[in-house]
Amino acid sequence: MKQTYNKIAMATSLLILVGCGDFGTDSSNSPSNSPAPQSQIPTIGKAYYVDSAVKGVNYICGSQSGTTDVNGMFLFETDRDCTFSLGTILLRKVDSALLHDGENLYEVDSHIASVLQGLDIDHNLDNGIEVDQDIVSMLDIEYDIVPSTDSGMVLFEKKMQSEGAEVPTIKTSEKHVITTILSNNLYRVEDNKTQALSFKEDGVVLVKEDEKVVDNASYNIDSNNTVTLRDHDVLSVQTKKIQTGEQYIPMSHDKLWFSKRLADKSRVAQSQSGRVDNVQKIHPLNSNTRERYLDAINRARAKTQDCGKYGVLGPVDPLTWSSELYNAAVEHSVDMGKLDFFSHTGSGKDSDITAISLGLSGGSSSGERVRFNGYEYQEEGENIAAGIEDLDNVIKAWIDSDGHCVHLMSSSYSEVGLSLYVAKDTKHKYFWTQVFGSK
């Protein structure tokens, strides 16, 4: 999914609107009396594309582009998504939230993993993967994207084999990926401590805290590539395949995180988990209000709407209500109202529950709030508004703004949550957050 967080602001003493998410408008659409944006030097990170380490994959990550080296290393611009390709064949897109300096980006999609393994020039995965560019150049003639369907992959792999590739079975490629992941330290949270797990080839796991071995365990991988971890008398079994976008091995008793950073976030979130429950308890939404909100949104979507530079859109299918998206929305409305500010980025203070719970260095983003509140999205977007009391008027204001209208009328979304927080002692008094998503 390609995500951008461009913003539009229209400010008077009574109205502020900002649209954010997969669609938006450029800062050039801001009012002429708005201050000129200051140029910023982008922050550049370095990460590693790993099945085994993959050399020869092209990447574009914001201002950074190139080809992965022998260690799978690539450069990325923070807060910008990445696109990976074989020649000009689109391999995958990666959400910026999955990219962190110094960390591995594991290829857990079985089909893509089998393609990369099949393209290894010396057919020896133990020394890493170097993509055979001669085979890629032949594939490039017929394909512009790696197929996403099983039937499409069958034809793609037949073409690879006709050019000399040795394509492994899905089960074989999965086994190699899980073995690669286990060859690096994994991390878990135990008794409010972050532990490193070092998996050895003899089936032994060393459990470490602060670089010191404090315990040991054992593990095995069965014929279905399921990992079982035996910690003394406690058995923890992998519950499902690792999904693209997930950064852990899901186990029955815990999660085995791919990095210490992720485990530390999980540990903080567990200790702060009561904060999330308080959002719903303190700011409940009765069924009548929920239906009124949803009806207003879907009445707008049931008509054609002029979304300015995006054209005339609609009618589009109605949205359904999501309690997770509502939780993300109400969290942000409360955060803005309590601290009397207006931005898509959370305050980073106690009322920014996501930022505090995850130990973020700054305020939370819309996508971080959505995921933290339990919604694993493929696409998400956010509209916010302040200074408007009436529901129909805020919907109209969003329709009248190109960037917000295209969110509200997007057929890419299937669910929505909408929240209003009233803070009478603040400048704008009424703080709305509307969050869209699809899985």
Question: Which tokens belong to 214?
Answer: 């404090």
Which whole-number Å values give the CA distances from 406 to 23, 298, 308, 367, 403, in the listed order?
7, 14, 9, 18, 6
pLDDT at 350: 83
Query: Starting from the edge strand earliest in sequence, which strands make up the sheet with 10-11, in order?
Result: 10-11, 16-21, 379-386, 430-438, 415-422, 320-321
Query: What is the per-residue pLDDT for 234?
Result: 76
Q: Which residues pair with 145 in a beta bridge?
A: 90
What would you report as the CA-atom Rg of the chain, rounded to the nearest whole angstrom? Answer: 24
Peptide bond just before 315 cis, omega within 30 deg = yes
Averages of pLDDT over runs of 10 residues in the chain (439 residues) are 30 43 30 39 90 95 96 94 96 91 93 95 93 96 92 94 94 94 92 91 93 93 91 83 86 87 81 46 70 95 93 94 91 92 91 82 90 88 93 94 92 95 90 95
Q: Tell me, what's the pLDDT at 166?
A: 94
Q: What are phi and psi of 295, to 5 degrees?
A: -65, -40
Question: What pLDDT, on the 0 to 100 scale, is given for residue 284?
Answer: 61
CA distance 299 to 204: 60
The whole-angstrom separation of Cα 91 and Cα 414 is 26
CA 215-220-225 angle, to 5 degrees, is 135
Burial letters 258-294, b for 16+ CB under 10 A, else e:
bbebbbbbbbbbeeeeebbeebeeebebeeeeeeebb
Contact residues for 146 (Cβ-Cβ < 8 A; gap 6+): 86, 89, 90, 91, 92, 111, 112, 115, 153, 156
Phi, then psi, of 171 in degrees rounded to 5: -65, -40
For residue 86, which amino acid is it? L
SS3 state of residue 375: coil
| Alpha helices in 132-207, H assignment, sequence order | 133-142, 150-162, 170-182
Distance CA 400, CA 306 (A): 8
Give residue 360's pLDDT.
79
| DSSP of 112-126 | HHHHHHHTBTTS-GG
Task: Give the model's pLDDT for residue 353.
Answer: 86
Instruction: List C-alpha distances in Å: 413 to 172, 308, 380, 390.
Output: 36, 20, 7, 24
Please count the residues of the chain: 439
Is-contact 387 14, C-beta < 8 A?
yes
The strand ranges marked E within 145-283 are: 186-190, 193-199, 204-209, 212-221, 227-231, 234-237, 248-250, 255-257
Task: Decide the pairing of beta strands 89-94 and 16-21.
Answer: unpaired
